[in-house]
Amino acid sequence: MPVCPMPVRIDAPGPVTLVPATVTGASRWVTERFHLTTGEDGAPALLATALPRSLLPELTVSPLTRGDTNPLQRVFDGMSPESRRMRFLAATPVMAPHMAVRLADVDHASHGCWVAGLEGEPVGIGRYIRTSDDPAVAEIALEVVDTCQGQGVGRVLLDVIGTAAADAGIASLFWLMDETNRRVRLLAAPLGGRFTRDSGVLEGTTGLPPVAPLDAVRIVRCARAARRRAAERTAA
C-alpha cells in the first residue's frame, strides 16, 4: 500500500492517536478512480485504475458471492504466516472449513465482503461486520497477499467497503489491529479517531473514508445489486 507522508504518533501508555501530518481524509482522492464493469458471474463489479504510487495497472473489485469460500482460501494461501498473524491477531496456519464458511456467510447489509482481483486472481479481501452493540458501527478487516502488499490494494478495498457500509447504514468503522501492522495503521490514520493499546493490539473507532461523488454512486450501485443477490440466494 502506498506510504502516506505522515508520521504515526504513539503516546504510551494510555490512548494511542494516529495523527496524519500533511494528508487529510478529504484530500485523499482528487480524481475518479472507479469504473463499472461486469464480474465473472455477470454481476456488477468495479474496475479501479490509476492506483496512487502503485505498479499495478488496475484492479477489479467484486462483492463476494454468498457461500463462495474459494477467493477467501486463495487470498489466505497467498499470505505469509506473519501476515496471517497480523490479520487474525494470532497464529493461524490454516483456514479451518467452519471459519471459511462463516466468513463467506455475507448478506452485504450487516456483513459485507469484497474481493480485489488482479488478472483474474484474488489478491485482497475487504470486509465489514456490523457490531451487535451498535448497528451504526461495523468492524473492518483487510487482507492482501504478500506479493501485492504496498501496492494500494488495501486502500482501494477500504474505500469500497467504507462506501458500501455507509449505504447499509454504517456511520463508523471499528478497528482491531496488531500494533506492528504499519500499513493498516496508515490506512486508519487519515480517518481520525483515537486508539487504545492492550497486549500489542490497537483498538479504536474512526469515520468512513471519503470518495469522489461519482465513485460513490458506482460503488453503491454494485453494493445494492450484491444485497439483492444475497437476499435471493437466501430465499431460494
At 111, which CATH number? 3.40.630.30
Q: Is residue 70 part of a domain?
A: yes
Question: Is 211 domain-assigned?
Answer: yes
C-alpha cell at 179: 500494533
Confidence (pLDDT) at 16:
55
7 found inside a domain: no
Which tens digits make up the pLDDT trace of 161-215? 999 999 999 999 999 999 999 999 999 999 998 899 999 999 999 999 999 999 9
Separation CA 68–CA 66 (nearest Å) = 6
| Overall number of domains in the chain | 1
* Model confidence at 156: pLDDT above 50: yes
Note whether residue 103 is domain-resident: yes
Task: Write out the residue range of the structural domain in which residue 70 sits.
Answer: 15-24+31-235
9 domain residue, yes or no: no
207 within domain boundaries: yes
Spatial contact of 63 and 98, defined as CB atoms under 8 Å apart: no
Within-domain flag for 59: yes
Over 70: is that where the pLDDT of 18 sits?
A: no
- 8 Å CB contact between 69 and 233: no
Burial of 11 (C-beta count, 10 Å sphere; 0-12/13-18/19+): exposed
Q: Is residue 97 part of a domain?
A: yes
Q: What is the pLDDT of residue 4?
A: 28
Q: Which H helix or E strand runs over 61?
A: strand 58-63
Q: What is the pLDDT of residues 89-110, one digit of tens each?
A: 999 999 999 999 999 999 999 9
